[in-house]
Structures are given as C-alpha cells and as structure tokens.
Structure 1
Amino acid sequence: MTCNLRIIGCLLATLWFSGTALAQQTLTEEQLQQAQQAGQSERVDLSQYIQSGGNSTGRNKPINIPTRSGPMPAGEEGLPPPYGANLFEGGYESERSDGLNSSYLVAPGDKISVQMWGAVNQAQVLTVDNQGNIFIPDIGPVKVKDVPANRVNSVVTQSIKSIYTNNVSVYVNLLTATPVSVFVAGPVVRPGQYAGLASDSVLFYLKRAGGIDPHRGSYRSIQVMRQGKRVLQYDLYNFLKEGQLPAFSFKDEDVILVGEQGAMVTVEGAARYPFRFELTDNSRSGESLMQYARPLAKTSHVAVTGSRPEGPISVYLPIKEFDEFGMSDGDIVLFNDDIRPQVISVQISGSYLGPSFYTVEKDARLLDLLNHVEINPEQANYGAIYIKRKSVAEQQKELINESLNRLERSIFTAPASSDGEARIRAQEAQLVSQFVARARQIEPLGKVIVSENGKVANIRLEQGDEIVIPAQTDLIQVSGEVLMPQAIVYNPNATIDDYIAWAGGFSERADDDRIAVVHANGLTSFMESGGGHWYHEKQGKTLVAGDQILVLPKVDTKFMQAIKDVTQIIYQVAIAANVAVR
C-alpha cells in the first residue's frame, strides 16, 4: 500500500495490520509476554503530530519561547513584575515523555489494544467511536468514554468476562491518546494553534504559547471558548494562592482566550510579595490586596499614591484603615513600618553576674544600665569598660575600604618610564593585591572608648550595643610580628623590650621603631623607640596588666609610591580590629 495520506493515517493502518496478523493463532508463553507488552511496543504518541502535515508538536523537546513579549509600555520602566509572571518559566510542558497519564479520560478516536487467550484467541487494536464505545466481536459495544486510563483494563475485562466466563484471559491497554488542536489567542507571547491532549491543563497550552504577556495580558481573566460560547473561566490567582485549577477536557478547535490586563496596583515596601497585582471589579479593596501582597507583621501604615478623575492623590493611613480603601489603576501602595520602638536591647559581655541581655528605654544611658548590672569587684575591671557598636564598626569598615581603594588606584595607575620598571610595578601590584584581599576580610570591632583612669562616660546607648566589662588579669599579651606570640605575666619592673624578648624577639618583618599597645579599655596607643628607650605618645602612659603589645609589620621600602598608604591602612586595621596585617 502507498501512504499518500497524512502520517496519522499511516500509523493507524500499521497498527491495524499488526493487530489482525496476531488473530486466530495459538499463543505460546513467549507470545503471551509479547502480548502483555503490546501497549509499550506499539504505542505511538499521536500528539507528536499536528493535524496539518504531520509536523511534530515537540512535546518531548523544550520549546524555544521568546523571552520578550514586546516593547514595554511607557511608564512601567523600573516597576516590579506582575504577580505570577514566573508561572511560565518552568519546563513542565515537556515533562511527560509519552503524553499519557493514569488520570487521562478516554475520548473518541483513542486506540485500545485488546488481547484474549485461552478458550478464545484474539489480538486487535480497536478505535473508540463517536459514541464513546469500542466494538469487540462476539462481545458487542463496550462503553469506555471518560474512563480513566488506569481503569480501562478492568472495565473492558469485566465486559468480556460477562460473556466468556471460563478459561479466557484478557489484557487491555490504552495505546494512544487522540490529540486535540487548541487555539490560544489574546495577549500571549505567541498566539496560534497548538496540539496537545484533551486532559492537558490550560497552563500547558499557555506555556506552549510562550506564556501570558506580562505587560498586556490578564492573569485573572482567561476563558475557554467552544463554538463561540464561554464554557469555563480561569483566575490564575486562585491557582497561585490556593492551588485551585479546575479540571477540563479540551476538544478540537477550542479557544483559550486571555483577556486584556485589568487595573494594576504596584506594591512596595514591607511586603512579602512586592509585585504588581491585577484588580478585579470585585476586589479593589485594600483587604483583598493584602491577601496576596502579605505585608510584614511590623507594617503599621500604608502610603497610597495615584490618580483619580478629580486629580492626583497621596494618602497615608494606618494599616487598619486600609482594609476598606478603594484602589484604582496605577496606584502605588507602600507598606511602611512607621512605629518607632520605644525600647532597645543591649548585651553585656566579659566579667559580670546575672543576665546578659537587657531591654531598656530608648534614651537610656550607660551608667543607668550599669547600676543594675552585678559584678564581682575582685574579678571585673569595671574601670576599663568599653562598648562594641555596630554603627561604629560599619564606619570603620567603610574607612578601611576607602583607603584600600585609594591604594589600589595609586598602585595600578603608577607610571613606568621603562620596561624594567614596568615589570617591577607589576610585581608590586600583585603583592599589593594580596595585601588588599587580606585587609578586606578584616572585620572591625566597632569599639567605643568610654572609660579612662577609672572614669566611665555616661553616653547614650544604641540598639544592639555590646557593653564589655573586661576581667581582671595579670597577663600581658604579646602578638603581631614576634617569633613566639604569647601571654606573659605582668611585671611592673619589665620594659617593652623585656616582653618582646620573652616572646622571642622581633620577626624579620617587624616595625621595631613603633609598637601599638591595646589597653584594657579598648584604647590603642603607640610607643616609639628613641635613645634605647620607648616613649609613649602621651606622657605618663605605662604598661599595666591587661594590655596587649601589638608589633606591626614594616612596609618594604621598595613600595616607594605606596608606602604611606600601606602604613596608614596597617594602623587603621590595628586600631579597628586589634590585628596586625602583613
């Protein structure tokens, strides 16, 4: 025979002849296994073929969908995407490989394989007729329309067993599902005609059409038209919010019509879903909007700006009054936390007794809180209290980053007068880059010095402050560019040279002309060498128990252009984080 008909016709003819060739034969055990596998071996996914010319619908292949839906309307630049715009970003239209699922409802045109052996031997492929029946010789018509695919075997077997009650085994399998051709129209990315299964969801066909145009299409008004009449309407907000998607069986020439985008409201601020939301005639109140936008619990007020027939409006109202507020197209809704806390939380660390967290009034001061903190005077160095403050740490971090940026600019833009100098500059730039990378990882402590000579300043506290009460100690910490960083027992008769010697002496990279001393109250000062002695930058300052000697690294003199900047950064980091960066 010649196949000058459509591909579908050829496939059906092939299935028919393969079925009749098995009839009137005695089935062996091997043939029985083959019969049981007939559904798998003969299955043809007709939904792969479009009705005109046998072109593949590409169910098993990802569809190249345009990422742009057309020019963005003027005035929408910078606005958030519509709620539900990510619904069509997945690849669910190509998830099933065979086009069938267990809940598929049998429809006219479907192919069913019926195998009988024993007292009666038959093997045939039957087509569901327009009345929803298959006709089995000697049995008669069996109604299978709207029967789920996973129940076809039991329904047909029951009908056959009503005639052949003994010594007849039956195996029934749904081979193919008849594809339907559905039109997708309205503001979608690729309107047109698409093939699929009757049981496919409206999301499948919308995805094949590229999805809803996010600037012009409606996610809340999607109709299914059949012969010019509306048979079903979808609101995808119900699916996005509640997971509700009505089941529907499509037929040939059904039309999925996406409506024009309705009134849109933009949500900003303290909301879990800061998107643009589409309003309906029955849901223009603030209460309905909040069901989808879900403002945060801290939200206290709502700002609404927009236009009305009488002119522009700008409203600021408590969130409780927003429930009944009527919105219009183009409104911008800002959920705002406008209730300032009247209390703050601070933390106590170091040597103290009692709780470590306190809630105090907003304007509370340090001494007001310390009056309620219990300490052991013999264990706590209460005259060296200092504060770690987040805002100060952020400022210190910003200053260090600015210095590092200046250093990078100076080293990378340094001119070179010869090739040899250029190579030297390149090596210097590489070393500076390594130094900058390490320095950027340093996190400042944000120390606020509030005590000196046993006196504590009564400063105002801030949210998140950590009040550090140092413990009494008999040790001097020696760290930085020494051979053996360690803690040494304080000796009032020892000098800085003694402590450094006990720590193994200076390393090769040490700056032995100036040493940083970090005191118990958080203050960092510097001792300079001169005439064989160390002199403090402030007269009368000496080492006391609890101090930290921090030997800083020396910048190699080959960095002639950057030595000043590098040295400045080393000192900034030492003060901000008590760290000596090489």
Structure 2
Amino acid sequence: MSCYAAPTPTPTPTPTPSVPFSATAGQTLPAYNPIADSTLRQNPAANVQSANIVPCSSGDGSPFQRLVCDSLGHMLPIYGENLLNFAAASDVEVSADYPVGPGDELLLKVWGSVDLSSRLVVDRNGAVFIPNVGNIPVAGTPFGQMNNVIGKAIAVYYKDLKIAISMGQIRSIAVYMTGMSKVPGRLMVNSNSTLLNAVMAAGGVGPQGSLRKIELRRMGQLIGTFDLYDLLLKGDKSKDLRVQSGDVIFVPPVGPQVALLGTVKQPAIYELKGGESAHDLLLLAGGETILNRAGLVQVEQIKDRKIRSAKTVQQADLATFKLSNGDILKWTELSLEYSGVVNLRSSLGLAVREAWTPGMKVSDLIRSPDYLLTPKYWANLNQGIFTAAQAGGEQDKQIRTLTQQVGQEINWEYASIQRRDPKTFVATLIGFNLAKALQKDPKADVELQADDVVTIFTRNELRAPAATQGKFVTIEGEVAVPGVYQLKANETLQDVVARAGGVTDEAWIFAAELGRESVRVQQRKSLNEMADEMEAAALELQSKTLQNATMLTGGDLAAKGQSALGTAVIAKIRNTQPTGRIVLGVAPDASELDLPDAILEDGDRFFVPRKPSTVVVAGHVFNRNSAFLFNSNKTLADYLNMAGGFKEGANQDQVYVMRADGSIMGSNNKGWMSGNALNQRALPGDTIIVPQELDKKTWVKGLMDWTQILSNFATGIAAISVLGD
C-alpha cells in the first residue's frame, strides 16, 4: 500500500491586464509597452514579428480558459489553482484535541527519582507499554490530556517525578479524493490532517473542479463543506474539517465562471456561487488598481447559448449588473496622456513637464541657459576631467576627451517643438534658434501650446555646418605658445601658427611636420594594397620556379634567398605604421611666412623641430646607420665615404636621400641618385640610404621598382625602417 505523492502544479501564465481588448483570436500577447505599441501602430505589417506573438494552445486549460484566450489573445489563470500546494499534511502541527490512536508515536521523558527517555507506540489495543509500569490505555485520549493520563499511571510506582510528552510519528490514514480532483484516488495522509491538508497534499483541484463547495463525506453521510475562497480571499479556515480514515473528499464540477482582466488587482477567472453582481466580483479581485480609467467596463457575454455579444457597462452600475456564466469583463487602463502640460527633454538627462498657461513661450519654459545644465551634463564634464587626469602624459587621449566634451555641448543654433493636432493627432515639427529664443527674439521665441514637446539637441546629435563645429589642432615644438587650438572658420596653417605666437629663433620650418588622420588612413590603405600585390606576385614567381626546377642548383638557392628577403620586406611593410605626414614643400631657408595657406582639418598636428645637427647614412655601407655631425661644406658623397663606402652587393646606382621635410631626392625621373648627384651639398637631417643589389631575375624586379615602393610609403621614417636594412 503506497502513499500518494502530490503532483507538481503546472505553472499558470501571468495575466496581462493591459493587452488591447480587440486582440486577434488565438494569440498570446506580451506585456503592453506604450512605446512599442506606438511603433506597431505606425507599421502594422511589423506587428507579428515585433510583438513576438505566440498562438494559444488549444489543448491547455479548461474550456472557459480557451474561450477567454480566443477572445483576448492570451491565457488567463483560474483563481486559486496555483495557491493550494502550500505544505504536505505531515507538516501540520498536532493540536491539543487530537485523539491519539493505534500507530501513533509518543516521545516520553521522565526525570526526578528516575530518569527515563522512551519512544512509546500505541498498539492495536490502544495502549502503550512502559517497563515496570505496564500497559496504559491511551486510545481516544486527546493529546492535550496525555501528560495527566500517563503521569498518574507512573505515579503509582514512582514518586517525585516530572514528565514531558511530545508527539513523534503520527499514524497514516487513507482518504479518497473523488469528483473533479486534480488526481482522483486513494491518498495517504496523517491522522491529524484536515480536508484542506488533504486537498493541498493532492495538488489541488482540477481545472474543471469547484473551489466553492468541497464536500467531506463519512460513512455515506455529508459531514460538511468548505469554500476555498474563504481561505484564499479572507484567510479564514474556521470551517475546515478534520478527516478520518476512510473519509471521502468530493470535488463537485465547477460552477458558473466569469473572467476579469485589465486594471484590477487580481486578473483571473473566478467561480460564482450564484447571484453575485459585477461589483461583488470586483471585490473578489481586490478592487481596481490606480491605473484604472474611470468610465466604462467592457463586457462580452454568451447570449442564449447561441452567439457571443459585447457591450459596455458604466462603472457606477456595476452593483446592479448581474453576472452570467461565461461573462468576460475588462477594466480599461488609464490613458498615458498628460493634460495641459508642456514637455522639455534632451539627451543630457533633461525630462521636465510643466503646466501650460495661455501665451506661454519657449523663454517662459526655459528660464535661463543654466536650466539646461542637468546633473548628467555635469557628470559628463566631471568624467572628462577624470579621464584626462588618468591619461597623464597621453596627449592624444586628453585631446580626444576635450573634443568629445565639445560634442556633448548644447546645440544653441537649433531646437525643435513637436506639436500634435488635438483633432487629427497628426504631429508637426517646428524648428527654432535656441539661443535667440532665450534672448526673447520674437521670431525664435515661439509661443507654446498645450502638450508641446520641446527637444534640446547636442552638437553630436545633429551635424552642424562645418564653420560651427568644434575643430581642434595641436601646435607643438618651436613655437612661442605650444597648445591645442580651436579652429576658426577657414583658418589656415599660417593663421594658427600666428595665434600660437609665431616660431622661435631655433625653429626650422623646412623640416616642419603636418600630420593628418585622413592621410594616415590613406597611407595605411596604400601600404596594405602594395603588400598584397607583392605577396601575390611573389607566390606566382615561386610557383614558376618550382615547376621549372629538376634539381636544386646554385641559382635556385639564390632565388630562395631572394624570396626569403622579399617575404621579410612584405612583413615589414604590413607592420609599418604610417605617420600621415604631408610634405609642405618649402625651401630649406623658409620662414613661417612661407608656410602654405592650407586649410586645416580637425585633429591636425603641426610640429616645428629645431634644426638638426647630424646626417645619417643607412643601408648597405660598412658603417651602417651612422650619424655624422652636419658640415655645410660637405657633400652627400663625403658622408658616404665617412660611413666606409659601399659594401659588396650595394646598389650604387640607386642611392637615395630622404630630406628632413619628408621628401625623397633623386636625380632622374625614377628618383634615384647617381653620378654627379652625390656631389650635391648635404642638408641637416638628411638620411642617405644605400639599398642592396638584387638579382634582376628575382621577384623584386618582377614585381615593382623601388621607386614604386617609396611612393607608396609617401614620407617619413617608415621607408627607412623597411628599405634601410
């Protein structure tokens, strides 16, 4: 004989009180989102995917639940069905009036002249046995009197004793769950259980069962009934009945049912006892929520068991409106509309509603510019200060933080008013100059209407004209006041250098560097394209060499060496970081007045160095990468000789010089130094590069000339790092 285990209740879908009443039949809708709902109304074709609608399952729930689902688009729980699995009967505390019977266990403790601790089990004859005392009849004795009964029996044999008795294991009894119980059948519960304990241990009442009139029958007689709503709604279980072995608990079929949803505190399907009004049912649901909209209640009914109808009932008439089986009532939600207000908002954390008054203008709503500086604005500013402080010497990061802060500033040139027509609900947009409005300019200080929404923008949110955008350049090196300067409209390099106080006496304009991010990006792209082209051609040449080779000859070994060299050059090209430098093209003796009238861009960096005092020789010479003090009387050839001259394998016909201004000097249209060109005077900062001689049959000559490589590097030390080795 096995004890019945209560099943795990099936989770009930959470009701969605604010789903539109006219939802499509057979669909489950998510919780209402007014913003998403507005989007769906504007784009009805996107409804299904955006709302994530799931069809109602025709196999779940009671017939009335499925009817409600077909009407509303989502399942509604039956009130109380998920509130009954509180505790098993074994957890119930033994009361003082509990009649002890066969199978019960008593825990006895005796102290005084004798110490005793014993577990006493009531036998089939209704007695417990205590050594040296004998059998003591206890069957039928209320548990609250057990101390007196056993105490008197022991006192006959022992004096000056104290005893304490508690209940151990309680005997199990069989009761029978019948009718519309969730799982009908024989159920084992402890003998201290009540009707409610048994119903909870059995997992509750089935979806077709009644919660309002559960019957307890004993020996064919009706002992009493229990309304579970008394417990669920009032916390009253005074009418609960104790069960005995062999009792039958009968769950009758569910009575009339009515569905409540919308802005009530407990949306669900409720069972009627009969004669209740809509107001009575509202009280069962806990009343209306604060979101309820005063006015009408929508009602759907089954008419003459033939068709379904719909109507509305005034909330004031709910007390006299009698309910019928199958009614569906929906309390409507409070409108999200604000009446008689104007709204002010911005991405800087501004969200304000103020009362509208006739004749109110923008300047009345925004009393001063400080009104727009919200805590979020100051938090952004403070975070920028903190970020710049953390950057320490990282100038790029500090400048980037500065420009970001400028982008978060208020756009004073433009703001907007969103206005909705109260009759057609069509929205229009009115733009105005915010700065002029706050100065009460009649053309910009627009008169507001009720429900207007005024939006303030930042400079990051709208692309303002280039002349009004915050642009910054960095001026460094040999200038009077190095710093970060905000550009004015169409300001040139000469203009900004003049604002920086001009150059110092140590400045060398010829070698000045103008770096630009857009140029750096283009240089990086050119380098990548060149490396890809060289790599593809090198692989093709290697493949042809392998196809034509029958044995590894000396020439093949040389070709393999050249191939390895090419691979290294390609790798260096890929890893080289271009500078974005623009060659200014001024003469070696140029002054700041000779700087080009170039319009600067946001993020440009201009560096004016001191005149260097060295000339560098790199590449295939005996004393490679040597730096020599500049002497205005020496030629390029002199410095090559000072570096030890050409090593074996040097390409003497293709020597080139990189000037301090970033340009590459040559004597012919290919850009190479040759013959008398090396007899030219050297300039401070010159870098003379001597390439290695390469076999004209190898991949380099088959791919491109060194001139092409240099042109792709554009300017700067990048070419030296690749070709100077």
Flag the structure with more relative contact order, 1 or 2, with Cα contacts below 8 A and sequence separation at least 6: 1
1:111 equivalenced with 2:58 (yes/no): no
State the distance in 2 between where 1:195 and 1:493 align.
93
Deviations 1:49-76 (A, max 9, x none): xxxxx43445xxx746789888746735
Which of 213, 228, 233 pairs up with 1:241? 233
Match of 2:635 in 1: none
- TM-score normalised by length of structure 2: 0.43
1:174 equivalenced with 2:184 (yes/no): no
State the distance in 2 between where 1:290 and 1:487 align.
71
Please report how far the alpha carbon of residue 160 of structure 1 lies from its aligned counterpart in structure 2 after TM superposition. Answer: 5.1
State the distance in 2 between where 1:86 and 1:321 align.
32
Amino acid of the residue matched to residue 55 of structure 1? S
Which of 428, 431, 435 pairs up with 1:450? 431
Alignment of 1:451-470 (within 5 A): 451-452=432-433, 454=436, 455-456=443-444, 458=446, 465=453, 467-468=455-456
Amino acid of the residue matched to residue 112 of structure 1? L
Please report how far the alpha carbon of residue 244 of structure 1 lies from its aligned counterpart in structure 2 after TM superposition. Answer: 2.4
- Gap regions ≥5 residues in structure 1: 1-53, 392-445, 480-485, 513-547, 552-582
- TM-score normalised by length of structure 1: 0.52
Match of 1:218 in 2: 210
Match of 2:329 in 1: 333
CA change 1:503–1:268 in 2 (3 A) is farther
Match of 1:346 in 2: 343
Alignment of 1:43-442 (within 5 A): 54-58=1-5, 63=7, 72=63, 75=67, 77-78=69-70, 79-88=75-84, 90=85, 92-93=87-88, 101=93, 103=95, 105-109=98-102, 110-114=104-108, 116=110, 125-127=120-122, 137=133, 145-147=141-143, 154-155=147-148, 158-159=151-152, 163=156, 166-168=159-161, 170=163, 172-214=165-207, 216-246=208-238, 247-292=240-285, 294-297=287-290, 298-300=292-294, 301-309=296-304, 314-337=310-333, 341-344=338-341, 346-347=343-344, 357-360=353-356, 368=361, 370-375=363-368, 384-387=413-416
CA change 1:271–1:170 in 2 (3 A) is closer
State the distance in 2 between where 1:496 and 1:335 align.
71
State the distance in 2 between where 1:321 and 1:268 align.
18
State the distance in 2 between where 1:371 and 1:176 align.
79
Deviations 1:84-137 (A, max 9, x none): 22225x57339x5xx67454834322232546577568767352788x886874
Which of 488, 495, 504 pairs up with 1:491? 488
Cα pair 2:470 2:487 within 8 Å, conserved: no
CA change 1:505–1:140 in 2 (3 A) is closer
- Gap regions ≥5 residues in structure 2: 12-58, 374-409, 421-426, 437-442, 460-466, 473-482, 497-512, 525-600, 605-725
1:505 equivalenced with 2:523 (yes/no): no
Alignment of 1:550-565 (within 5 A): none
CA change 1:448–1:92 in 2 (3 A) is farther
Please report how far the alpha carbon of residue 327 of structure 1 lies from its aligned counterpart in structure 2 after TM superposition. Answer: 1.1
CA change 1:234–1:496 in 2 (3 A) is farther
Tell me whether 216-225 or 199-208 shows the greater mean CA deviation.
199-208
Cα pair 1:383 1:456 within 8 Å, conserved: no
Amino acid of the residue matched to residue 239 of structure 1? L
Cα pair 2:341 2:451 within 8 Å, conserved: yes
Tell me whether 134-143 or 179-188 shows the greater mean CA deviation.
134-143
Please report how far the alpha carbon of residue 330 of structure 1 lies from its aligned counterpart in structure 2 after TM superposition. Answer: 1.0
Tell me whether 271-280 or 160-169 shows the greater mean CA deviation.
160-169
CA change 1:144–1:201 in 2 (3 A) is closer
State the distance in 2 between where 1:217 and 1:161 align.
52
Amino acid of the residue matched to residue 84 of structure 1? G
Please report how far the alpha carbon of residue 277 of structure 1 lies from its aligned counterpart in structure 2 after TM superposition. Answer: 1.3
State the distance in 2 between where 1:507 and 1:323 align.
80
Please report how far the alpha carbon of residue 176 of structure 1 lies from its aligned counterpart in structure 2 after TM superposition. Answer: 2.6
Please report how far the alpha carbon of residue 81 of structure 1 lies from its aligned counterpart in structure 2 after TM superposition. Answer: 2.1
Deviations 1:289-309 (A, max 9, x none): 344153222321211121345
Amino acid of the residue matched to residue 285 of structure 2? Y
CA change 1:218–1:388 in 2 (3 A) is farther
Report the aligned-residue RMSD. 5.3
Cα pair 1:303 1:317 within 8 Å, conserved: yes
Amino acid of the residue matched to residue 299 of structure 1? R
Match of 1:34 in 2: none
CA change 1:360–1:70 in 2 (3 A) is closer
Please report how far the alpha carbon of residue 251 of structure 1 lies from its aligned counterpart in structure 2 after TM superposition. Answer: 0.2
SS for the counterpart of 2:280 is: helix
State the distance in 1 between where 2:432 and 2:163 align.
94
CA change 1:462–1:102 in 2 (3 A) is farther
State the distance in 1 between where 2:324 and 2:80 align.
20
Aligned pairs, how many? 383
CA change 1:226–1:158 in 2 (3 A) is same
Larger Rg: 2
Cα pair 1:450 1:457 within 8 Å, conserved: no
CA change 1:189–1:489 in 2 (3 A) is same
What is the aligned-residue identity percentage?
17
Match of 2:718 in 1: none
CA change 1:343–1:256 in 2 (3 A) is farther
SS for the counterpart of 1:491 is: coil
State the distance in 1 between where 2:215 and 2:419 align.
56
CA change 1:124–1:83 in 2 (3 A) is closer
Please report how far the alpha carbon of residue 509 of structure 1 lies from its aligned counterpart in structure 2 after TM superposition. Answer: 6.4
Cα pair 1:266 1:332 within 8 Å, conserved: yes
State the distance in 2 between where 1:550 and 1:198 align.
86
Deviations 1:320-367 (A, max 9, x none): 22232111111111101477653345236699x9x9541237xx89x6
